[in-house]
Amino acid sequence: MIAFDLKCDDGHEFEAWFRDGSAYDSLRKVRRVTCPECGSAKVEKALMTPNVTAGRDRDQTQRQVAQQARQHLQNLRTFIEKNADNVGDGFAEEARKIHYGEADARNIYGSATTEESTELTEEGIEVQKVPWLPRDS
């Protein structure tokens, strides 16, 4: 048995099972392959997708993935806030001080412009960019 994702000329997508590929071809030729929704015999193979779940399930999965990623970033933010000092806009300056031993070595976080972070990297100062999500209300 073989399953094909099919699509009628009205755009309805459905799945149908056949004994083999040639059974599909011969049944289609005599218009015995019809859309379960509108009965049209004008059907074509739809593009195969690696995800076999139907539309609604697929949206659900995507929402779950987005939700999990969001949760992960929230946790990351919480972790950083607990384990590093917030130096705000002074991040680049403070990172430099730490690097050159002018300030206590510690974990810091804050904001830096793209230019600032490029300069820090060029000076051999390790910085990590993280997406900073607003708190859930």
Residues in touch with Zn ion (CB under 5 A): 8, 10, 12, 35, 37-38, 40
Strands 108-110 and 85-88: parallel
Closer by beta carbon to Zn ion, 6 or else 120: 6
CB of 42 to Zn ion, least distance (A): 9
Closer by beta carbon to Zn ion, 54 or else 66: 54
Max Cα-Cα span within the chain? 84
Half-sphere exposure of residue 5, counting CA atoms within 13 Å on the CB side? 12
CB of 45 to Zn ion, least distance (A): 14
CA 135 → CA 56, 73, 131, distances in Å? Answer: 29, 10, 12
Closer by beta carbon to Zn ion, 33 or else 112: 33
CB of 49 to Zn ion, least distance (A): 19
